[in-house]
Amino acid sequence: MRKTSAVLATLSLAVLTLTGCAAGPTFAGEVCDRTSHAGSVEDSVTVEGDLGEAPDVTVYTPVKTDETAFADIITGEGETLTSTVQPMVLDIAFYGGESGEKLYESEYNGDTSRVHNISYWAQRSPGLESVLECATGGSRVVAVLTPEDFGEANVEAFGLAKDENIVAVVDVLDVYLAHAEGASQFNDARGLPTVVRAPDGTPGVIIPDSAAPESAVTQTLIKGDGAKVEKESTIVTNIMALGWDDKTVTSSTWGAEPNIGPAAKELVGATVGSQLLVVVPAADGNPATVIVVDILGIVPVPEQ
């Protein structure tokens, strides 16, 4: 069993090393390139105002295009969106391509706890997936969507013509890590689960056949170099929980929306980018549980 664990740990390190050697950000296996989709977007609209504030938009109607196009009019220096489930915060406004009138505008209230992902927004407007692929935190994106990419239900709800294009202004306020990133840590405790990781960071957990520990255990598997989690922090995490005895996953945010909430005591003092293994012993009729936590970010405290 110890030999197997050693091999799995070696494979885990190899995966992390290969991932870290990539030439640049990728999305769905393709190298990120946001310069080839602009078309004539910037000739169709002007946008004024600061990032995160409701934009002052002028649409030069009518806007016509046969395929969705976009351009970054502000390119941020934050994290890059490399998957459809990576946590992010955005504000967005839509305008009719025929009238230039505003159709919808999000809050623009500075609340960065409104954490979602590309999949969430693509369910509401399918074309936003391609518009947001490889975008960086701090960017402002202008897009012209086809009615199909805006969404049939949206076209009907806003009373648009079936062939009417839609202009979108998207402020990508923040992008959180897609998974833990940092230095792998050596842990010599025996009888604890082993964690391996897929290239996208999804953990796989091998639980030993031995009995679970009788007291709580917390191990740092990857140590990130980001900000330190404080007692009062609100954090963004990916979490996977498994039963020790049956070795089955009981809950997971991987492939779904991330978890946002107050920092558990086991995470206080850890840094953003870290991955922790927590073993909670059986108590009060509840079985022992194994929890793997990736700390993806800390939600900024709103300015007063």
| Strands laid side by side in the 139-145 sheet | 69-74, 139-145, 166-175, 88-96, 102-105
Find tokens 């929890």 and name the residue.
291
Fold classified for 32-175: Chitinase A; domain 3 (3.10.50)
Domain ranges of the chain: 2-21+179-298, 32-175
Residue 12 confidence (pLDDT) above 80: no
pLDDT greater at residue 233 or residue 38: 233
Residue 2 confidence (pLDDT) above 60: no
Inter-residue contact 216 to 195 (CB < 8 Å): no
pLDDT score for 8: 37
Query: The whole model's pTM is what?
Result: 0.87
Look at 20-24, 62-66, 160-164 and tell me which has the smallest mean pLDDT.
20-24
2-21+179-298 has CATH 3.20.20.70 classification:
no
- Look up residue 46 and give its DSSP letter: E
Q: CA–CA separation, 14 vs 116, rounded Å?
A: 31
Look at 30-34, 122-126, 208-212, 231-235 and tell me which has the smallest mean pLDDT.
30-34
At residue 106 the predicted structure's pLDDT band, cuts being 50, 70 and 90, is very high
Residue 38 confidence (pLDDT) above 90: no
Of residues 107, 110, 25, 117, the one with CA closest to residue 299: 110
Give the phi and the psi of residue 142 in degrees, each rounded to 5: -110, 130
Average of per-residue pLDDT across 186-202: 94
- Look up residue 126 and give its DSSP letter: T
Q: CA angle, 282 as apex, 279 and 285 as ends, to 5°?
A: 145
pLDDT greater at residue 48 or residue 2: 48
- Look up residue 21 and give its DSSP letter: T
Of residues 94, 162, 161, 151, the one with CA closest to residue 122: 151
pLDDT score for 14: 39
Q: Is the dihedral of CA 272, 297, 292, 25 positive or negative?
A: negative
Summary mean pLDDT of the chain? 91
Look at 23-27, 143-147, 237-241 and tell me which has the smallest mean pLDDT.
23-27
Residue 67 confidence (pLDDT) above 80: yes
DSSP string, 185-199: -----SS--EEEE-T
At residue 304 the predicted structure's pLDDT band, cuts being 50, 70 and 90, is low
Condensed to tens digits (0 to 9), the pLDDT of residues 120-177 reads 999 999 999 999 999 999 999 999 999 999 999 999 999 999 999 999 999 999 999 9
Same fold, 2-21+179-298 and 32-175: yes
Q: What percent of the chain has pLDDT over 90?
A: 84
Residue 230 confidence (pLDDT) above 60: yes
Query: 58 CB contacts (<8 Å, ≥6 apart)?
Result: 45, 46, 100
pLDDT score for 186: 94
Condensed to tens digits (0 to 9), the pLDDT of residues 47-59 reads 999 999 999 999 9
- Token digits of residue 182: 């940092």
At residue 188 the predicted structure's pLDDT band, cuts being 50, 70 and 90, is confident
At residue 17 the predicted structure's pLDDT band, cuts being 50, 70 and 90, is very low
